[in-house]
Structure formats: C-alpha cells, structure tokens
Structure 1
Amino acid sequence: MLDSEALLKELLATFEMEAREHLGELASLLLALERDPELTERRRLLESVFRRVHTLKGAAHAVNLPDVALACQRLEDVLAGLKRGDLALGLAEFDALHASINDLEQRLSRGLSAAGAVPSPSPRPEPPRPAPVVPAAPREDGEVAAARPSRPSAVPVAAPPAAPPPQQVPEPKPAQQHHVAARPQGDETVRVSARLLEELLLQSEELVSAKQSASVLHEELAALTGELALRQGERARALERARRGMKGGAGGEGALAALLEQSCQAERHTEGRLRLLEKSADKHLRSLQGMIDPLLEEMKKLQLLPCATVCDPFAKLVRDLARELGKEAEFTYQGGELEIDRRILAELKEPLLHLVRNTVDHGIESPARREAAGKPARGAIRIDIRLQDANRAELVLEDDGGGIDVARVKEAALRLEVAPAELLERMADQEALQLIFESGLSTSRSVGNVSGRGIGLAIVRDSLERLGGHVAVASTPGGGTLFRLVFPLSFARIRGLLVQVRGRDCVIPANNVEVSSRVAVADVKRVENRDTVLVNGEVVALVSLARILELERSAAAQEQSLSFVLLHAGEKRIAFAVDQVLGVQEILVKPLGRQLSRVRNVSGGTVLGNSKVVPVLNVADLFRSALAVEAPALPSPSPAGRPRPVSVLVAEDSITSRTLLKNILEAAGYQVRTAVDGADALSQLRAEPCDVVISDIEMPRMDGFQLTAAIRADSRLAALPVVLVTGLESRSDRERGIDVGASAYLVKSSFDQGNLVEVIQKLS
C-alpha cells in the first residue's frame, strides 16, 4: 500500500510538470492561430492544439483525474469540429478557447490539491476571464473559417465554481524543451529537481573560498621566500667575515664564527625548502583552479534557462487583459534564446508582470483613441533582451501607447511630498519621470483591479536593486514609453573592488565602479554646499563613505590627498572618498540571513581568502544615503584658538541682498565689510585683506567671475577663499566658477543661511 501511494505521488509530480508544459504551449498555439496565418499553417496549428489536448486527456486518465480528462474531452470535440470546418474561428471563439484553457488550469490545480500528493503551486495574478459566448452554426464549405467576430461560438466554457481558487500564469517550460534543438544528436536529457541543482551549485561555489585561501597561502610563501632571498648578500658577507675571524682569531672567536656559519647553512637549507613549498603550492593552486573553474562553469550552465521561459506567458496575459479593459494589444519579444541563471529569471517575473500590466492599463489607449491619433487600433508591446557585457543583460520593454504625462507625475509627487515644489518646478522632465518608481506615486485618477495604487513600479525598482541592477524609464508624449532594466546574468560570484574605510574592509561590486583615483585635498571644491571633484572634465559630487556608513572618524592626521571611487547607478554618478583602494578580486556573495534580511547600505557579505568576513555594499542604498544627507568628504577644521573674529567681505550690488548677508554673518559672529561691486571689493582687498570673500556674480564694472580671477592672479590674495552666491544655476556657470578658482558655489534658489555659515567655517 505504501509503495502504491509513493508511486501515485511520483506519477502526480510528473503529470503536473507535463500538464503545465502542455497548458503553456496551448496558450502560445492559440495566440499564433489568432494572428490569422495562411490556411496550411492554420491547419498545422489546429492539429498541434488537438494533439496536445488529446495527450493531456490521456495523462489525466492515467493519474485518475477525471475532471481534467472530461474538460479535455469536451475541448477535443470542439477542436475536431474546427478541424472539419464545421465551426467558425472568430474573436468570440478565441475568447472562449482561452477561457477553456484557463478553466483547464483551474481544474488541474483543484485536482492536484485534492489528490494531496503534490503541493499547489504559488498563486499568481489571475488573467481576466472573457465573457461566455453562445453556440455557432456550422460552415458549409468544409474549410476552417477566418476570424469573424459576428459569428457565435460552440466552444464550451465550464461555469466557474462558487469559490474558485486564483488562476495562475502558466509555469515556465522546463529547460530541456528549449535546449533540445541546440544539443547534438544522441545527447540524452533527464529531469532533475531544481532544488537539487541549486544545492549543487551553491556547494560548488563554496569551492571559491578554498581557491582564494590557496592563493593567499601561495602569496605568503612567495613573500617569505623572497625575503630570505634578499638576505643572501648579507649572509655571504657575514660568512666571509667569519672565515677571516677563524683564521686569525682566538679559540673563542673561532667557535663563534663556526656557529655563525652553521646558522647561515641552516638558513640556506630553510630557503631551499621554502622554495620547494612555494613551487608545490603554485602547482596545487593551478591544479585547484583547473578543477574548480570548469566545474563552476558547468554547474552554472545547469542553472541556465532561456529568457523565453519568462516571456512566453505574457502573450496570453496581454491578450486577456486587453480584452478585459476594452483594448487591443499584441505582445512580441526578441532575445528569448539568451540564457540566464534561473534564479535571476525567477526574480524578474514579478517586476516584469507589474510592468506589463501597467503598460496595458496606462500605456495602451483604446482603439478609438488610437485611430483618432493616426495609430493602428491594436497596440504593440515589445520586449527586447540583449547582452550588455560579459555578466550583465539589458531588457527593454517598449510600447507605442500615449506615453507618460510628466505634469501629472510632478503633481502626484507634490501630493505625496516626494520633493519640494521649487525642486519639482526646476526638475528636468527625464529626471521627473524617474519619480514614478516611488512607492505610492501613481498618475492614475482611480484605483482599479489592474493598477492605480502606485506600488507596482516601486516593486520593480526594489527587485532590480536587490538583483544588483537598475531600472530607468523614458517616454515621448503620444509616442510611447520605454523601460530599460539592467541586471546580472548570474548570482553569487562577482568581481568586487576591495576598499578600506576607517580601518575596515568593504567590497563594492565592480560593475558599479567607473574609476578609482586620488585627488589633492586642495583640489576639492564646494558647489552648492557639497564637496566636488573634477573627473575627466566633469564636476562630480564627493561624499565620504565613512560618513555614509556611520563609522567613527579616525584620529589620524589629515593627508594632503585622498582616495575616491567613482560609482554609477543608472544615469547618476557620485565619487565616494575612501581611506585606501586595496584591489579587485573575485568574491562569493553570501546573504545576511533572516536575522539581518535588510541592512541599509549593505547587500550581503563575503569571506576573503584570509578568512576575514567583510560586507558587500549596496550601491543603490549608498546613492540614496548620499543624496539624502549633506556628507562632506573632508573634516571641517576647528575655528577654536583664533586670536580674532573672522573677517568677511561681501560684494553685492543689490542693497537688499547686501544688507541681508551682512545681518546673517554679523549674527553668526563675523566681522563684515561690504562692497557695491567687484571693482570696489578688489580695491578694498588690496588696501585691507580679509579672511573670506562672499560675492555675487552679476555686478556692474566687475562681475564675480572677474573678481575671483583677479584675486587668484594677485600673489598676496591668491589663497583667499572666495564663495560665489548667485542665481545662476546652470552647469556651465558652476563649471566656470570652479575654473576661475571659486572655493564654493551657492545657488540663491536653494540658499540657506546655515549652509553659508557652514561653508565659511570650513573655508576659514
């Protein structure tokens, strides 16, 4: 009895995999048939649908699921009529056929759950349920009819039960179905548990740590052997002196010389043994690399699945959802043959589902609106998947719908208090579009069953960041929207940049690193109350990584230069100051565990070859933290111990602004003098220098740029700090201010008296 139960469980598990494969393929075949191919192809597709339904019916009988078998029998009768040409194939008939497939999937889930041997798969979003249709009259010409919406249908659709379980998007087809064509003839395939494959891969990846430890051991042996080799000259000279002492010295000196010679001989023997050990370690390291690297590559291939396994179900989803919303849309994709780690694909399912549903609901217009705009009545949704580099892929989801209304995005952002009104007004359209990924932000005027709550796109961003990728959006009013998703091809093993911050090691994913370099502290400039550095001719914000990670400031003396790492996340670029860049190495990323499932700025951990555990930083979090707080890279010097108050010269042609700045600075304890323009300020400085100059840019006679250049050209004033406070906020103006030698650049639209005082304290 126990053997029979075990056999039934095994049969049910096999049947579930086979049935879901058939259901997924049936949906694809119906969609292909709906595109109205030519007669020969139409007959071939109908024959394929008929054969799959017949096979599914037989398999359902074999595992004692009569409800599924009965539904297959009814569908078989309808398909036989379609093959004979007795029934028409119109839009209503296709709706009913798709509904029958959905009903089959429901019956399958209920049957497997009732059997109690196979757990029900996790629920997925329910595709829309088309309205039932009425029977149709047979054709007279004996051929399969073309699509004719006016003809009723004879396709039976089972009435749903009182409390049906959620419908499910068809599971991706097993990998071997997509690999069969690419395999050489004679290769056999087997079904293996995905859980077993994943465990084997994880165990294989653990060997990376063993390889790194062997590499560290080899490096230490090589270093020790090198040190002994460097002492070879010293040994030779010591032995020569010892031999001379043995010839002309007393008995005690001769004994000491003999002992020294024995010691040198023992050191040479040790050096010889170390060289042998080094060669042996090098040989074993190469052997280990030769075994581990191919093993890991082959194990990774076992986890690869074509992207088509994720994209295939969306064709039916788009078709059903568009019908529910009274729209017409067609889904296509390219790059489905690209193979990616199945764990990555599993993580991509949910964000892609949200994007596709949002595209159908918000992006694609109704047929009437599309025709009025000169577009085809049927909308187009397209996915293009391609490699970006050796370990990253790019997925572009594009539609030809109405695009995103940037004004409505800004209104929703203001309502949600995502950003201040002044910032939203000045924000460029492309930057404002990225706000749609904020949680709770939606441009929909109502909440429906499909979308409108503003959660889906936030899930998309979070999912991509969790994978170590990013998402961006671009849109053209009336021309459609484009989502670009960038993500890695595989998990776990990555190349990381090892850096040191406040004496602690951290790893930054190398894919996000653009460049690492050093810069003189004197070359760090203040722009809009942020430290900046010039990298390849572009001004980039500089933020202390220690400040972001909330590490204590070290008591070491300040150096004349600092190291930084320029990172990029999507279109954003920020330089992070670090103590030291230690190099690039391959690492195995470990999750933090359930106790620390989410730690800000940290995505995981890794064990280095020296057995040291270090955190792997989350670049997306670092950017959010850097943009959320003022994070100066350099420590502010203490003004304590000054013999006199700091003197400030304010050059401003507007009497109102001049008086305001004077009052602010005097209230902060500074000695303030004023000048009506740049020429007046330069004259006063030559007569009586000060500690800091605060200057407007647009002034008569001599503007702020000319004043700054004149100060830098004067040998007595060249080191004088100059702060430009102006309404000019374009990038070119900021770069010009830095070029002429301004120490800091503050924009009046975001002016804050605390920022001004902080800048003066830093510069003085």
Structure 2
Amino acid sequence: MEKDPFRYFRIEAREILDVLSQGILKLETRGASSAARKADIDRLLRASHTLKGAAGVVGHDAIAKLAHRMEELLAGHARDDGSSRTPISALLDVVDAIASELTALGAPAAQATGAATAPVEKNAESVRLDLLEVDGVLASIADVSARLASASASSAGLVRVELAVRKVEEWLAAAKYAGDRSSLDWDTVIETVGHLRGELRVEREALEGVIDGAERRVREALDDARRLRLLPAETLFAELARAARDAAAADVTAPGAPPRRVELETAGGDLRLDAHVLGLLRDALLQLVRNAIAHALEPETERRSGGKPATGRIAIRFELRGSRAVVTCRDDGRGIDVEAVRAALVAAGLASEQAAGEMDVAALVRVAMRRGVTTRASATELAGRGVGLQVVGSVIERLRGELTVRTEAGRGTTFELDVPVSMTAAAALVVEAGDVAATIPLDAVARTTRVAGGDIARSPEGDALSDGGEMVRFASLARVLRREGKELGHRDFSTAVLLEIGGLRAAVGVDRVLGVANEVVRPIPAPAVADPIVVGASLDGQGDPRLALDPRSLVEAVRRLPGALRPTPLPERKSVLVIDDSLTSRMLERGILEAAGYDVTTAASAEEALEVARERRFAVFVVDVEMPGMSGLEFVAHTRADPMLGATPAVLVTSRASAEDRRRGLAAGARAYIVKGEFAQDEFLDAVRRSVG
C-alpha cells in the first residue's frame, strides 16, 4: 500500500494551481467579451473541475470544496454579466487557500527542493516526478557504471591470463623439441593448453562485448535520468506574475489610491534547468521583481510626465549561452540612484566617502548584496530592510554564478545572472596532480598547454606563465590543494590548464590530463569543513573519488599564492587508515583528516583493511564498528593481537552510543570512541591527535 496517499495528488494539485494562477492573472488583461477571455475561463473551469475530482478521490474534502467554490466564481465570469463577476483578488484568495491546504499536507520531494512541473495541458504525456527518486536512480546508475568499469578491468585480466597460457604453450613446445624424455604426452598437453587459450579468448571477447553493450546502455540511461531532473524555466512564471501583481497592489502611493499597474513579460520558458538551480533562481527573481516595483518603477503620474507608458514593465528572459544559463531581469524604471546607494554605504560605515565615490554601479551593488543596505528612509511591507539584494547575492554565491548590473538614469536597470544549468552533472576536465584526481568545469577551461619549469617566470610576488604575450599567474594544483609531499618550487610540469572565469585568469600545473567526462557531482557532507575550492566529489570508473573544484575559487587561490622560489621541506605527514563500509562516512572522515594534514588511505571493509595494513605502516586506524563480515571490534581485537599491527592505535567511529557499547569498544583496545550522531570535527581530530601521540 502507498505510504503517502497524497504523494501524486500534491504534484498534480501544484500543476493545477500554476494553471489557475496564470489564467486568473490573464483575466485582468483580457477584453470584457473577447474570445481569448472566454477560452481562458473555459480552461480555468476544466482545471478547477479536475482538481475537485482529484481531491475527492484522495478524500480531501477541504480542497474539493475550495475547487467547487472556484468553479462557482468562474461561472460568474463565464456568464459575461458584469454584476456576477467577483474581483480577481477573490479568485486569487481561493488559490492561496488551496495552496495553504497543500502545505498542511507536508512537502513532497519535488516541492521541498523548490521544483515545479509544467502546466497540466502541456504535461499530459509526461511523467510526474519525485526528485528524491530521480536522484536515487542517478546514484544507482552511477554505481552500476562504476561496477561495469571494474568488470571491464577484469576482462583486461583475462587478456593477461590468455597471454600467460600462450607462454606456457610455447615453453611446452620448446621442451618437447629439446628432447625432453619424460613420460608426458606432449602433443596432448600442448593441444590441451592451446584449447584452453582459445576458450579464454572466446570468453574474454564475449565478456568484453557484454560490458561494452552494458556500458553504452548505462550511459544512455544516465543521460536520460539527468534530463529527468531538468525542469522548464516556465514553471516559475506563474509565481513571478503573482508576485508582481501582489507587490504592485501593496506599493500604493497613498491610502485609497489605485494599485500601480505593472506588466511582467517572460521569455525563454522552454529552457530546462536542474531543479535545484531553478529553485534558487526563484528566490532571486522574486526579490528582483519586488525590488523593481518598490524602488525602480515610477508612479503613473511621474511616468506620464516623463513620456513613458503608464504601465511599468518588467521583463524576465532565460537563455542558454554555451553551457550556462543567463537569466535577465530588466525594468523600464528610473534606474538605480547611485548617489543614494553611496550615501547609504557611507552611513552604514561600510565604505568611506572616498572609497564609495570610486565605486562603479557593479561594485556598489556587490557591497549592498553582502551587507544588506537599503536606500529607503523607512521600511514597508515590500522594502526597506536591505534583505532583497542579500538574497540575490546569496543565490549567486550558492550557485557559484556571476551577476552583471547595468543601469541608466530614467531608462531602467538590468540584472543579468549567469549560472550553471545543473549543479549535479556537467562536462568537466579530469586531471591528476600528485595523489589527487580532480575535475574542473569545462566551461572555465580556456585551453591546456605543455610546459616545462623554464617556461615559468618566478618572483616573490607569485609565479607566472606567458600566454600569448600576457603573463598569467601560475601555481601547481597540488600546491593549491596543499597535497604536495614537499614544496615543488622548481619542478618541471607536464601540463598547464589555463582557466578563465568572470574576467579573471590563472593557470594550474597538473601531472596529467585524463580526459573529459560528464560528472555527477555529489555534495560533501555538511560536517566536513572542506577547502572552498572543493565543492563536491564524483566517482571514477573504479569507484574512487575525484574532487570537484570550483573554478572561481581556484583562480582566486592561485592569484593569492606567493612565489615558490625556495624549496622548503614540509613536516612528515602521519598516515591514517579509515575503515568504513559507508562511502559518505569514508569521504567525510577523509576530507577532515586531509584538511588537517594527514595522509589518508581508505578501506571499505575490515578484511580489506587488514591486507592494506600489512603492506604499509599507519599511525592510527579510524574504524567503523558495524560492518558486513568482520566488525570494527573484531578488527581492533585482531590487530591488537598481531605482533606487526599491535602497536597501531585505533579510534572507533560508530552510531552505537550506549555506555555498554563504549565499554566494549575501549575493552577491545580502542584508544577513543566517537559517536556519529554526536560527531564534532574538533573532537574527532583531537581523538586522532591524542592517539597518534
């Protein structure tokens, strides 16, 4: 039985609410008896009836009654009898009441991530999505892809076996013709070995064929699943139109004055973006629309005296530029009052008069976004608290995007948001630096070039590389990520990756460029305070993690680094073996420990850890307790009894929190006991440091 009986109803109801909201707002602009108006009312009546029926099926009487009320109100408009029409605001009140009932049901996955779906009539043949399920499909396919790559590596092992059998066959033939007089039937032996080699070749070719076909289908399925997570930009348009109407109604010049007339134009609604990106853009665009009405669009009398139409205009456009989405919000208002913004910054103590006077519009807006500045003398329901631009700035930062602002006095202002289409999957350049594999978004890579140490100009202020006559700041990626075993100031690099983003340029030296891949980036768990350069991780074909790098933070880090003129040995890094069957836990602990300067090796089971521990020495073991096969307690007891491993301390990290569990862990020989549910980075690092000594 379905655990959540309202799961699909919520999604359908949200779609219908979009249709109702957009359609009702259109009624305000239609002629009293136009054919388009009648078609709109018919469409709204059908949508209301569908919602009433769906609510009845799932037994939600309140929404069914509200939908019926909507039908009655729309019927008055359909009769074309002016006395029967209710105000548009009354229709919108019913929409709001239905939305409140839906919210009370709890947020489904799609709603919780800020995602919406296409209007009902355009979405009739599409599947209604639960984003958590889509993400689960993506993760499963990515895992299968990694396992297939491992199987592909196994087929390479069959090739080696085949070659070994061929050598045995050759040795036996040589022994036969050398006159070996043993009792072996050489012809039979050679024939048997030859037959075995032939069978191995057939099996290997069959396995390779299966793997190639499966990998191809998995890649296709992964691409399909990624597309499922992309939603059309038009899913935001209904809410933005409603926000513009409500803001115009709230921003009246005097009590009893008519609401300000505002027209919202939208374009590019068929552009599809990742649901997470679209949800964040929603927050930014809502603020920009409200700010335009509160600060930019003039009252009707002022607009008429200035030769403008009485109705203010806000235009929102989505478009694809290369691999990124550019969202433009343009108004035809009075423009940004640059001097008022400068005065507000000075009054708030955020800049001196001289510094504020030297800032251009873009710089002024950047400061206002970070610190929450308003030019209004008093706050209203709509504006005056300096929150709007802060929200926009936060969205740009979270999406790692770019914001461009253009304004012209008396003509209006344009905000342009340049953001990725997806934060979870993107084409990336895969590189290797030291012991780290990493990915860099491809749209930030200008080019790659072969370099040697002599190509790098060095100075105390920073190293640089000549590119087309221009000196570009340079550093090794391993140095930026603090992953070098020693300072490599005079090292010869094989490849430099030239990066360009937001007008900034830099180059990083890498050991190898491994190619281009479409990466599914997984976020690093919240407790792991990683370097801002690292925004997540992906998995390669063998299931090993690759760091996903933020290009802007990487460029800024390179430009901040001083020169690497004098090699300085770094202290020896302590080696830690992290043992946990959970990939998330391994990545979390590895990230924390590496950021603290430890050399970290991971194992997915206690059995694997024992093999690794016998091959090299470790300063400490960090062990999960509950694992398939040998448990963490058994691992600790086993290593304590082993003459070779007994001196290596162990730190247990587990979800078991009872006093008895702690007693058993320490009795087994662990130096420290950390509970995952109470996980604190400082406590974890302190336990490791105390154990290492």
Same fold (TM over 0.5): yes
Match among 487, 490, 512 for residue 558 of structure 1: 490
1:453 shift after superposition: 4.3
1:13 shift after superposition: 5.4
1:321 shift after superposition: 0.8
Structure 2 CA distance, aligned partners of 1:39 and 1:497?
Answer: 56
Structure 1 CA distance, aligned partners of 2:129 and 2:82?
Answer: 43
Structure 1 CA distance, aligned partners of 2:130 and 2:119?
Answer: 12
Structure 2 CA distance, aligned partners of 1:173 and 1:239?
Answer: 70
1:466–1:568 Cα change, 3 Å: farther
1:458–1:545 Cα change, 3 Å: farther
Match of 2:279 in 1: 346
1:79 shift after superposition: 4.1
What TM-score do the two structures reach when normalised by structure 2? Answer: 0.66
1:438 correspondence with 2:370: yes
Structure 1 CA distance, aligned partners of 2:313 and 2:505?
Answer: 34
Match of 2:247 in 1: 321
Match among 123, 136, 139 for residue 199 of structure 1: 136
1:342 shift after superposition: 3.4
1:50–1:423 Cα change, 3 Å: same
- Contact 1:409-1:435 at 8 Å conserved across structures: no
1:598–1:422 Cα change, 3 Å: farther
Match of 1:375 in 2: 308
What TM-score do the two structures reach when normalised by structure 1? Answer: 0.60
Structure 2 CA distance, aligned partners of 1:491 and 1:349?
Answer: 15
Structure 2 CA distance, aligned partners of 1:99 and 1:604?
Answer: 47
- Contact 2:116-2:231 at 8 Å conserved across structures: no
Report the count of equivalent residues: 559
1:109 correspondence with 2:133: no
Match of 2:19 in 1: 25
- Contact 1:212-1:609 at 8 Å conserved across structures: yes
1:574 correspondence with 2:506: yes
1:286 correspondence with 2:230: no
1:604 shift after superposition: 1.0
1:466 shift after superposition: 3.9
Match among 297, 305, 309 for residue 223 of structure 2: 297
Structure 2 CA distance, aligned partners of 1:307 and 1:501?
Answer: 38
1:71 shift after superposition: 5.6
Structure 2 CA distance, aligned partners of 1:321 and 1:365?
Answer: 14
1:354–1:191 Cα change, 3 Å: same
1:319–1:429 Cα change, 3 Å: closer
Structure 2 CA distance, aligned partners of 1:301 and 1:30?
Answer: 31
What do residues 31-55 of structure 1 show as CA deviations (whole Å, max 9, x unaligned)?
2222234622223333444554566
What do residues 71-93 of structure 1 show as CA deviations (whole Å, max 9, x unaligned)?
6666655544444444269xxx8
Structure 2 CA distance, aligned partners of 1:466 and 1:542?
Answer: 26
1:15–1:267 Cα change, 3 Å: closer
Structure 1 CA distance, aligned partners of 2:382 and 2:40?
Answer: 32
1:400–1:87 Cα change, 3 Å: same
Match of 1:131 in 2: none
The more displaced of 55-64 and 326-335 is 55-64
1:287–1:353 Cα change, 3 Å: same
Structure 2 CA distance, aligned partners of 1:216 and 1:548?
Answer: 32
Structure 2 CA distance, aligned partners of 1:420 and 1:228?
Answer: 78
For 2:21, the aligned partner's letter is A
1:292 shift after superposition: 0.8
Match of 1:41 in 2: 36
1:318 shift after superposition: 0.7
For 1:567, the aligned partner's letter is L
Structure 2 CA distance, aligned partners of 1:74 and 1:240?
Answer: 93
Structure 1 CA distance, aligned partners of 2:393 and 2:520?
Answer: 24
1:315 shift after superposition: 0.9
What do residues 196-247 of structure 1 show as CA deviations (whole Å, max 9, x unaligned)?
344233322332323443455566777x699999x99xx99x9999999x69
1:535 correspondence with 2:463: no
- Contact 1:403-1:476 at 8 Å conserved across structures: yes
Structure 2 CA distance, aligned partners of 1:618 and 1:53?
Answer: 46
Match of 1:140 in 2: none
Structure 1 CA distance, aligned partners of 2:103 and 2:350?
Answer: 47
1:552 shift after superposition: 4.6
1:177–1:504 Cα change, 3 Å: same
1:476-515 paired onto structure 2 within 5 Å: 476-515=408-447
Structure 1 CA distance, aligned partners of 2:107 and 2:542?
Answer: 45
1:291 shift after superposition: 1.8
1:386 correspondence with 2:316: no
- Contact 1:406-1:433 at 8 Å conserved across structures: no
- Contact 1:472-1:570 at 8 Å conserved across structures: no
1:298 shift after superposition: 3.1
Match of 1:657 in 2: none
For 1:209, the aligned partner's letter is A
Structure 1 CA distance, aligned partners of 2:133 and 2:174?
Answer: 69
1:48–1:266 Cα change, 3 Å: closer
Structure 2 CA distance, aligned partners of 1:550 and 1:169?
Answer: 35
- Contact 2:489-2:565 at 8 Å conserved across structures: no
Structure 1 CA distance, aligned partners of 2:426 and 2:45?
Answer: 47
Structure 2 CA distance, aligned partners of 1:578 and 1:270?
Answer: 44
- SS in structure 2 of the partner of residue 438 of structure 1: helix
- SS in structure 2 of the partner of residue 41 of structure 1: helix
For 2:93, the aligned partner's letter is N
Structure 2 CA distance, aligned partners of 1:579 and 1:405?
Answer: 51
Larger Rg: 1
Match of 1:517 in 2: 449
Structure 1 CA distance, aligned partners of 2:487 and 2:162?
Answer: 35
For 1:635, the aligned partner's letter is L
Contiguous gaps of at least 5 residues in structure 1: 125-167, 184-188, 248-253, 639-764
Match of 1:97 in 2: 88
Match among 537, 553, 577 for residue 621 of structure 1: 553
Match of 2:541 in 1: 609
For 1:472, the aligned partner's letter is T
1:441 shift after superposition: 4.7
- SS in structure 2 of the partner of residue 402 of structure 1: coil
Structure 1 CA distance, aligned partners of 2:110 and 2:227?
Answer: 28
For 2:82, the aligned partner's letter is L
1:307 correspondence with 2:233: yes
Structure 2 CA distance, aligned partners of 1:361 and 1:404?
Answer: 12
- Contact 2:21-2:238 at 8 Å conserved across structures: no
CA RMSD of aligned residues (A): 4.9
- SS in structure 1 of the partner of residue 93 of structure 2: helix
Structure 1 CA distance, aligned partners of 2:328 and 2:456?
Answer: 38
- SS in structure 2 of the partner of residue 377 of structure 1: coil
Match of 2:404 in 1: 472
1:587-598 paired onto structure 2 within 5 Å: 587-596=519-528
- SS in structure 2 of the partner of residue 206 of structure 1: helix
1:616 shift after superposition: 1.4
Identity %: 28
For 2:429, the aligned partner's letter is L
Match among 147, 152, 156 for residue 210 of structure 1: 147
- Contact 1:361-1:451 at 8 Å conserved across structures: yes
Structure 2 CA distance, aligned partners of 1:631 and 1:60?
Answer: 65
- SS in structure 1 of the partner of residue 279 of structure 2: helix
Structure 2 CA distance, aligned partners of 1:555 and 1:266?
Answer: 57
Match among 161, 179, 191 for residue 123 of structure 2: 179
1:423 shift after superposition: 6.9
Match of 1:332 in 2: 265
1:500–1:39 Cα change, 3 Å: closer
Match of 2:334 in 1: 402
1:567–1:372 Cα change, 3 Å: farther
1:51–1:558 Cα change, 3 Å: closer
For 2:232, the aligned partner's letter is P
1:366–1:346 Cα change, 3 Å: same
For 2:106, the aligned partner's letter is P
